[in-house]
Amino acid sequence: MEIQKQSKQQQEFALASMTELAASSSSSSFCSDSQSVPVTARFSADNGVVELRFNRESESADSISVYVKTARLFKLGALQSVCITKVSGADTGKEKYSTGVTVQFRNKEESTAFHCAFEQWKKEVTVQGMLLTDGAVTACKSKFDDKIEPSSAKMYFHYYGQLLHQQNMLQDYVRTGTYYAAVIENRADFFGRVVVDVGAGSGILSFFAAQAGAKHVYAVEASEMAEYARKLIAGNPSLGEKITVIKGKVEEVELPEKADILISEPMGTLLVNERMLESYVIARDRFLVPNGKMFPTVGRIHMAPFSDEYLFVEIANKALFWQQQGYYGVDLTPLHASAFGGYFSQPVVDAFDPRLLVAPAISHVLDFTEIKEEDLYEIDIPLKFIASVGTRVHGLACWFDVLFNGRKVFILIFFTLG
């Protein structure tokens, strides 16, 4: 990102080009190249009125201005956006959009910075009537903040900042051992490489990467567990000298160099719960070099109908309490149907016998190296099964696995839901 000028009342960005969208078929275009004056976009405020001016030079008369208060900014592509102004229709009194400008950016970072600045000037200056203080650009609201309510985010980071929770994860020896094998047995992928541990927690995966010969490991952790990770690293200096803990959200932190490998444990219940996968994908887009590796590489969600009479009776019996007709003189049976439905609306999180499945499973594949963040916002999995036996279906069994596609060893780890 290049900010050419920044003061208490203005902020300026360099652009690749911009084109005015005129009401007629004609239009004017400004371009920036090595032989011409750079095209710029400048935000400025005067008595609470914020103006966005597009021009070739600071005081050029050949410029286009819009008022941020009545303007909207839309993305047309990774490097192109359109800014349109809103006016009131004289005949109808309704708001409508007039002509505007299309803006071409030089790279994704500058596009993101410009959009962040636009929203901040609109919010901080226009809506609240305040100027950006001390020439500082207020940080753009992170994607993590957009996807999780503040109260939920606070609880999330508090939970993962506790040693008790980290101990529970470390004592999952199948999980920990599989990660260890995936890293150590694929030492060729890690040796001499820069690694980023996304959501590092205690830093255990960072230690594995260091053991495999990583050149350096950046352990990114947003919760208070980052401080515990630093203590653990200080207590293991032979490995810790290769590890740097960076406290912050992966959506916001900056790293001194790109990563050759991302490693993470981003799986929630049925793979996608807790929305850590989105952060994993964001880290890929922000930090990973082209054709870099991701551990894990692919996740698969599996589903199949099952029949389990014993489990059905066990859950149904929990609602028997509401079949009492004389509970201290009160008939509870009017609530039995609701209680019965409530118990069966909750998932049973447990292991299950695969012999209970009554049809071949369907699978939904998530390739972490290619999937887009927005593809994780809503996942639709069509359910269509052909039963292999004639029986009563009691529910849908769900489980998932993740694959580590290493240079030497291909490792698969299963997780059940029930």
Secondary structure (DSSP) of 181-216: HHHHTTHHHHTT-EEEEET-TTSHHHHHHHHTT-SE
Cα separation, 203 vs 197, in Å, equals 8
Is a pLDDT exceeding 70 seen at residue 125? Answer: no
Cα separation, 401 vs 359, in Å, equals 19
Contacts of 113 (CB under 8 A, 6+ apart): 1, 3, 13
Could you give the maximum distance between any two Cα atoms of the chain, in Å? 92
Q: Residue 274 catalytic?
A: yes
Which pLDDT score is estimated for 400? 92
Question: Which of 265, 278, 309, 314 is the catalytic position?
Answer: 265
Cα separation, 256 vs 267, in Å, equals 27
Looking at every residue in the chain, the average pLDDT score rounds to: 81
Name which of 316-320, 325-329, 358-362, 375-379 the model is least confident about. Answer: 375-379
Alpha carbon separation from 344 to 123, 313, 338 (Å, rounded) = 46, 11, 10
Alpha carbon separation from 324 to 316, 317, 327, 330 (Å, rounded) = 15, 13, 6, 8
Is a pLDDT exceeding 90 seen at residue 34? Answer: no
The fold adopted by the segment(s) 300-402 is Hnrnp arginine n-methyltransferase1 (2.70.160)
Considering just the CA atoms, what is the radius of gyration of the chain in Å?
28
Q: pLDDT (tens digit, 9 = 90+) per residue, 62-89?
A: 678 888 887 888 877 778 888 877 644 4
Which pLDDT score is estimated for 60? 47
Q: pLDDT (tens digit, 9 = 90+) per residue, 263-304?
A: 999 988 888 877 789 999 999 999 999 999 999 999 999 999
Options 3.30.1330.10, 3.40.50.150, 3.90.950.20, 3.20.20.80; which CATH number does 147-295 get? 3.40.50.150
Is a pLDDT exceeding 70 seen at residue 160? Answer: no
Q: Where are the domains of the chain?
A: 3-140, 147-295, 300-402
Q: Can you give the pTM of this predicted structure?
A: 0.61
Alpha carbon separation from 135 to 3, 6, 129, 190 (Å, rounded) = 12, 6, 16, 42
Is a pLDDT exceeding 80 seen at residue 22? Answer: no
Name which of 50-59, 131-140, 391-400 the model is least confident about. Answer: 131-140
Q: Residue 370 catalytic?
A: no
Cα separation, 56 vs 17, in Å, equals 10
Q: pLDDT (tens digit, 9 = 90+) per residue, 203-257?
A: 999 999 999 999 999 999 998 899 999 999 999 999 999 999 999 999 999 999 9
Question: Which of 20, 185, 252, 274 is the catalytic position?
Answer: 274
Which pLDDT score is estimated for 415? 61
Contacts of 203 (CB under 8 A, 6+ apart): 197, 219, 221, 229, 232, 233, 243, 245
Which residue did the predictor score with more confidence, 22 or 181? 181
CATH class as words, domain 3-140: mainly beta
From the number of C-beta atoms within 10 Å of its C-beta (0-12, 13-18, 19+), residue 173 rates as exposed
Segments in 60-197 forming alpha helices (H): 108-120, 143-147, 150-160, 163-170, 173-184, 187-190
